[in-house]
Amino acid sequence: MLSVEQSISSLMQNSKRLADGETIDLIDACGRTLADSIIAPIDVPPADNSAMDGYALRHADGQNGRVAIPVSQRITAGSVPQGLQPGSAARIFTGAEIPPGADTVVMQEHCEEENNAVRILKLPAAGANIRRRGQDLATGQQVLQRGLRLRSQDLGLAASLGIARVPVYRRLRVAVMSTGDELRDPGDELQPGQIYNSNRFTMRSQLAEWGFDVLDMGVARDDPAAVREVLQESARQADVVITSGGVSVGEEDHVRDVVESLGAIDLWRIAIKPGKPFAFGHIMGKPFIGLPGNPVSVFVTLLVIARPYLFACQGIADPVLAPMRQTARFSHKVSQREDYLRVRASASGLELFPNQSSGVLYSTSWGDGLVRQKAGEEISDGSLVDYFPFALFN
Amino acid sequence: MLSVEQSISSLMQNSKRLADGETIDLIDACGRTLADSIIAPIDVPPADNSAMDGYALRHADGQNGRVAIPVSQRITAGSVPQGLQPGSAARIFTGAEIPPGADTVVMQEHCEEENNAVRILKLPAAGANIRRRGQDLATGQQVLQRGLRLRSQDLGLAASLGIARVPVYRRLRVAVMSTGDELRDPGDELQPGQIYNSNRFTMRSQLAEWGFDVLDMGVARDDPAAVREVLQESARQADVVITSGGVSVGEEDHVRDVVESLGAIDLWRIAIKPGKPFAFGHIMGKPFIGLPGNPVSVFVTLLVIARPYLFACQGIADPVLAPMRQTARFSHKVSQREDYLRVRASASGLELFPNQSSGVLYSTSWGDGLVRQKAGEEISDGSLVDYFPFALFN
């Protein structure tokens, strides 16, 4: 059996970026992956500016607080300052450019203005209240790295540098298919022997959350010809093909044979719970991932094992998550496999969903994250454990 | 000064849901907020089914392992089983419905089949390997609560119950406006005194990430008439109006006067760093939030203070986040205000971005979360601190 760590690292070694680059408007780039690092093309701020509303002057001119200094100009944010004559001061507002000649800004609370002249009640140190050109970012500094999945603050940062369009990788195209004659779509009437298809909804919406282009190939009948047709079409259209169900050793599982005939497939015995069986291979040169059929196993293996691989195919750097350490408020028996327990965080620590059976999808909905219990690890009330809030996977 | 906690709780007391309900297809509901709790309309599983590939039989018939039991039917997932005659067994596959009469499934690894008869090598306990009707969810059980922001697993769960359409609140409409004559859009040439507008990008993409309908009202000139026109139009179209900049006490800040003339505004002195000034009020009956002008302050107050309020207006239950506890690998001086430090998580703990000045938006992009340092709290290397990964805010 492969450990979870070995499986992920083996997948990562087999991964390469499959999405090409394109250039898009910055405002549309949230959640997209940078295809080139961004270097600051300007200084930020672009010129010395005032950190306060107040008065700009030469420090030497402010030494004698009893003398009123004539106010020779008024500089608002966005206006262009004149050079400041010695012995005069400029009324200045937050963000406004410091006039040439001035070296200090006195905050308005420490000044008195009357008849266009200002008296300095409290003079700060020379250079005070000035945000220097380039103090936040200097031209040429690398600010956003290739492979970064852009967040709102990254868009703000790029905007502050005047960057209107950014190079990103196009969205990875992922085809998803479920198998099973017993599967019905919600809305249909269930006949005896049938169940509703939840995997299609979990997979499709999770992959879309990750920013992929999802090709929903629906459900293939439990019939080699039907499975073959859908998988071929998937491989033609997508960068990666994912299925749920159909890769165990049962007689009714056709996916394995079909993938084998169109490429290659390895069945992996991964020491993960819930989770096995897991398959990896390729169809007509496109990577193939066969997730289990069980709803909780699909969800867990999608987050824990498939995600880092898919992120690497998208071009995202460092896709493997590090856990938080939190306190368990439960005990759980030692397992031979790495166990992903559905838990909920409360003020006192993590609570366990009572039924950890892999059939109970409700546990993932009740919970707000997963505890990783490594093989052989004991967990008792008060243990510090590895915790992944679901939000981290997005 | 108000503490951060007081500010949030005061906002929450002033909040009410502003978005009405609508019914949409389940597959489109990820990220949307449930307008009604969902009650299980069926049992899951809908009938007893097999947890294994194997043979279904009466437990009594399997007692004598040396006798071959005739295999009278073959039940695949999705097919309809016949009643099982005493003294016979059914070949059965994972997920297939248990035939009436059978009470036990023997996994295939513990059986030998020859000439349409099966010999039981190892008989499990009576009732083994059967997933019982309703064991995961029973009809009438509440499974998803009103106010839940739906995640991929919640969609999977609803699908497993056969629910094809769900009641959600329509997306909250949020208008965003920046003020400042010094602001230019990226792509434009900077003139002396000008800077690029980052707040528009940060706010607009963060609000869209939260699933709101964002009305981007652009930049209003520093002129009361221009500000008035944009704010009126915003209040007409949106549920909530948000601005950045223009609410401090400076002479050039017109937003305050205009909001006052169209409704009411309170300037809040919140003990948060970075963050002040913050304003709350209403324009023509629509809530108004005035964020600071400073890029880092905008980002922090948007996540920490505005988010819970906006989530409540959307109808999301429990929108206030609980922090993780993590180890600081830095020390930071005690502050009188609650300080939101930009940090990055590593294997050994949290590292601090060296420049915590509120002008340095790069700190938010470098970092992967915020440490909350409460007023008066000391942080030194090894302290356990409150940590919010940025991903939690999404």
In a 3-state reduction of DSSP, which class is residue A238?
A: coil
Q: What angle do CA A196, B138, A180 make, to 5 degrees?
A: 20
- Residues of chain B contacting residue A252, judged by C-beta atoms under 8 Å apart: 76-77, 93
Between the two ends of chain B, the Cα-to-Cα distance in Å is: 28
- Token pair, residue A131, equals 């945000």
Would you call A205 and B364 a contact, using CB atoms and an 8 Å cutoff? no
What pLDDT is stored for residue A250 in this prediction?
A: 57
Burial pattern A302-327, b for ≥16 Cβ within 10 A else e, equals bbbbbbbbbbbbbbbeebeeeebebe
**Cβ pair B164:A186 closer than 8 A:** yes
- Tell me: cis bond preceding A86? Omega within 30 of 0 counts: no
List the single residue in B with minimal CA-CA distance to A362: B157
Of A247, A383, A269, A285, which is closest to residue A336 (Cα–Cα)? A269
Contacts of B78 in chain A (CB under 8 A): 180-183, 193-194, 222
Measured between alpha carbons, how far is residue B345 from residues A50, B126, B390 in Å?
33, 51, 11
Which residue in B153, B198, B394 is closest to A160 by CB distance? B198
Q: CB count, 10 Å around CB of B133?
A: 17
Q: What is residue B252's predicted lDDT score, i.e. its pLDDT?
A: 60
Task: Give the span between the Cα atoms of B65 and B79, in whole angstroms.
Answer: 28
User: How far, in Å, CA of A305 to CA of A370, rounded?
Assistant: 14
The sign one gets for the Cα dihedral B182, B187, B192, B195 is positive
A153/B359 touch (CB, cutoff 8 Å), yes or no: no
Q: CA B363 to CA B191: how far, in whole Å? A: 26
Q: Is the pLDDT confidence value at A293 over 90?
A: no
**B83 band by pLDDT with thresholds 50, 70 and 90:** very high
CB A137 within 8 A of CB A40: yes
CA A229 to chain centre: 35
Alpha helices in chain B (DSSP H): 4-13, 152-160, 199-209, 224-237, 255-262, 295-301, 307-314, 362-366
Average pLDDT over all residues of chain A: 94
- Which residue reads 């000649």 in tokens? A101
Smallest Cβ distance to A193: which of B80, B199, B326?
A: B80
> Within this chain, do residues A203 and A214 fall inside the same structural domain, yes or no?
yes
Note whether A164 and A176 are same-domain residues.
no
Highest mean pLDDT among A251-255, B61-65, B150-154: B150-154
pLDDT in tens, B209-250: 999 999 999 998 888 999 999 999 999 999 999 999 877 655
Q: Tell me what pLDDT residue B136 has.
A: 85
Interface residue A36 vs chain B (CB under 8 A): no
Is a pLDDT exceeding 80 seen at residue A251? no
pLDDT of B254 higher than 90: no
When CB atoms are compared, the residue of A76, A197, A394 closest to B181 is A76
- What residue type is B210 in one-letter code? W
Determine the distance in angstroms separating the CA of A287 from the nearest CA of chain B, rounded to an integer: 23
B233 and B299 fall within a common domain: yes
Smallest CA–CA distance from B207 into chain A, residue: A152
Taking the CA of residue B283 and the nearest CA in chain A, the distance in Å comes to 26
Domain match, B194 and B243 both: yes
Residues B180, B308 within the same domain? yes
Nearest Cβ partner of B26 from A97, A186, A347?
A: A186
Considering the domain architecture, whether residues B159 and B199 belong to the same structural domain is answered as: no
Tell me which of A64-78, A82-96, B196-210, B229-243 is least confident: A64-78
Q: Does A25 touch chain B (CB under 8 A)?
A: no
Is there a contact between B181 and A79 if contact means CB atoms under 8 Å apart? yes
Please say which residue of A103, A131, A159 terminates a domain.
A131
In tens, the pLDDT along A180-228 reads 888 999 999 988 888 899 999 999 999 999 999 999 999 988 889 999 9
Residue range B328-344, pLDDT digits in tens: 999 999 999 999 999 99
| Residue A319, domain member (yes or no) | no
Instruction: Give the bridge partners for A179, in sequence order.
Output: A220
The answer to whether A77 contacts B180, with C-beta atoms less than 8 Å apart, is: yes
- The reply to whether B329 falls in a domain is yes
Q: Is A80 on the interface with B (CB under 8 A)?
A: yes
Residues 199-228 of A with CB under 8 A from B: 199-206, 208-209, 222
CA distances from A146 to A156, A215, A389, B147 (A): 17, 26, 26, 37
Confidence of residue A66 (pLDDT cuts 50, 70, 90): confident
B residues 145-204 near A, CB within 8 Å? 151-165, 180-188, 190-204
The answer to whether the CB atoms of A76 and B131 lie below 8 A apart is: no
**Interface ipTM above 0.95:** no
B282 contacts B275 by C-beta, under 8 angstroms: no
State percent of chain A over pLDDT 70. 99
Q: Is B322 on the interface with A (CB under 8 A)?
A: yes
Closest CA to A142 of B185, B356, B362: B362
- Per the prediction, chain B carries an average pLDDT of 94
Number of CB atoms found within 10 A of residue A376's CB: 10
CB A298 within 8 A of CB A247: no
Averaged over A323-337, what is the pLDDT?
95
State the pTM of this model.
Answer: 0.92
Residue B9 contacts A, CB cutoff 8 Å: no
Q: By CA distance, what is B130's nearest residue in A?
A: A359
* Yes or no, beta carbons of B365 and A154 under 8 Å apart: yes
Measured at the alpha carbon of residue A142, what is the angle toward residues A152 and A77, in degrees to the nearest 5? 60
Q: What is the pLDDT of residue A277?
A: 85
Q: Do A365 and B154 touch (CB under 8 A)?
A: yes
Which residues neighbour A61 within 8 Å (Cβ) at sequence distance 6 or greater? A69, A86, A87, A88, A89
Residue A94's pLDDT is what? 86
Which residue does chain B place closest to A210, by CA atoms? Answer: B152
Count of other CB atoms within 10 angstroms of residue B236: 12
Q: Read off the CATH number of the domain in which B141 is found.
A: 3.90.105.10
B45 shares contact with chain A (CB less than 8 Å)? yes
For testing contact with chain A, the best of B214, B361, B364, B386 (most A CBs within 10 A): B361
Same domain (yes/no): B342, B389: yes
The pLDDT of residue B212 is 98
A195 and A219 both lie in a single domain: yes
Q: Which domain holds residue A36?
A: 27-42+137-169
Note whether B299 and B325 are within 8 A (CB).
Answer: no
Here the CATH number for the domain that contains residue A62 is 2.170.190.11
Q: What is the pLDDT of residue B357?
A: 86
Same domain, A304 and A387: no
Same domain? For A14 and A31 the reply is: no
Length of chain B: 394
pLDDT at B249: 56
Which of B97, B153, B191 has the CB atom closest to A202's CB atom? Answer: B153
The answer as to whether B273 is a domain residue is: yes
End-to-end CA distance of chain A: 28
A134 touches chain B (CB under 8 A): no
| Distance between CA atoms of residues B289 and B282, nearest Å | 8
Q: Are both A103 and A222 inside the same structural domain?
A: no
In the three-class reduction of DSSP (H, G, I as helix; E, B as strand; rest coil), residue A73 is classed as: strand
* Yes or no, beta carbons of B252 and A93 under 8 Å apart: yes
Burial of B143-182, coded b for 16+ CB within 10 Å and e otherwise, reads bbebbbbbbbbbbbbbbbbbbeebbbbbbbbbbbbbbbbb
Give B27's contacts (C-beta < 8 A, 6+ positions apart). Answer: A201, A204, A205, B155
Section A67-84 average pLDDT: 92
What is the rounded distance in angstroms from the CA atom of residue A168 to the CA atom of residue A23? 6
Please count the helices (runs of H) and the strands (runs of E) in chain B: 8, 26
Distance (Å) from the alpha carbon of B31 to chain A's nearest alpha carbon: 9
Residue B63 has pLDDT above 70, yes or no: yes
- How many contiguous H segments (helices) and E segments (strands) does chain A have? 9, 26
Q: How many domains does chain A have?
A: 4
Q: Is residue A83 part of a domain?
A: yes
Of residues A307 and B44, more confidence is placed in A307
Does any domain span residue B359? yes
Chain A touched by B246 (CB under 8 Å)? no
Q: Count the Cβ atoms, other than its own, within 10 Å of residue B218.
A: 12
Helix (H, G, I), strand (E, B) or coil at B353: coil
Q: Which of B23, B52, B160 to mutate to test the interface with A (most CBs of A within 10 A)?
A: B160
B382 lies within 8 A of chain A by CB: no
Output the six-digit token pair for B392: 């939690």
Q: Is the pLDDT of residue A77 over 90?
A: no
Q: Would you say residue B301 lies in a domain?
A: yes
Whether residue B100 has a cis bond before it, omega within 30° of 0: no
Is residue B130 pLDDT above 80, yes or no? yes
With beta carbons under 8 A apart, name residues in chain B contacting A156: 198-199, 201-202, 205, 295, 299, 361, 364-365
pLDDT (0 to 100) of residue A136 = 85
Tokens of A92: 């200045």
How many C-beta atoms surround the C-beta of residue B190 within 10 A?
Answer: 14
pLDDT over 60 at A38, yes or no: yes
Average confidence (pLDDT) over A340-368: 94
Burial label, B267 (beta-carbon count in 10 A; 0-12, 13-18, 19+): middle
| Contact at CB, A95 and B195, closer than 8 angstroms | yes
pLDDT, residue A13, reads 96
Q: Which of residues 253-292 of B touch A (CB under 8 A)?
A: none
What is d(CA B353, CA B367) in angstroms, rounded to the nearest whole number? 7
Q: Decide if pLDDT at A322 tops 80.
A: yes
Q: Which of A291, A314, A337 is the last residue of a domain?
A: A314
A309 vs A10: CA distance, rounded Å: 10
From residue B16, alpha-carbon distances to B144, B161, B319 in Å are 21, 31, 13
CB contact under 8 A, A161 and B196: yes
Tell me, what CATH number does B337's domain have? 2.40.340.10
Tokens 């093989």 locate to A375
Mean predicted confidence (pLDDT) in A145-164: 97
Q: By C-alpha distance, which of B143, B150, B160, B138 is closest to A186?
A: B160
Decide if A78 and B187 are in contact by the 8 Å CB cutoff. Answer: no
Domain with residue A263: its CATH number is 3.40.980.10
Contact A164, B186 (CB under 8 A): yes
Residue with more model confidence, A34 or A246: A34
Q: CA B68, CA B331: separation in Å to the nearest integer?
A: 75
Give pLDDT, residue B248.
Answer: 64
User: How far is residue B279 from each of residues A92, A363, B292, measured CA to CA in Å?
Assistant: 23, 41, 8
On whether residue A82 sits in a domain, the answer given is yes
Cβ-nearest to A153 among B44, B78, B202 = B202
Instruction: Say yes or no: B104 and B144 in one domain.
Output: no
Interchain CB contact of A139 with B (< 8 Å): no
| Mean pLDDT value across residues B6-12 | 96
What is the rounded average pLDDT of the residues A317-341? 95
List pLDDT tens digits, range A255-280.
889 999 999 999 899 999 998 789 99
Rounded to whole angstroms, how far apart are CA atoms B229 and B113? Answer: 82
Nearby residues of A237 by Cβ (< 8 Å), 6 or more positions away = A173, A175, A215
- Chain B residues with CB under 8 Å of A164 CB are 185-187
Contact A186 B162 (CB under 8 A): yes
Among the partner-chain residues A79, A188, A205, the one whose CB lies closest to the CB of B193 is A79
Is B319 within a domain? Answer: no
Mean pLDDT over residues B121-148, rounded? Answer: 95
How would residue B302 be classed by pLDDT, with cut points 50, 70 and 90?
very high
Mutating which of A23, A71, A153, A252 best tests the B interface, going by the most B Cβ atoms within 10 A? Answer: A153
B349 shares contact with chain A (CB less than 8 Å): no
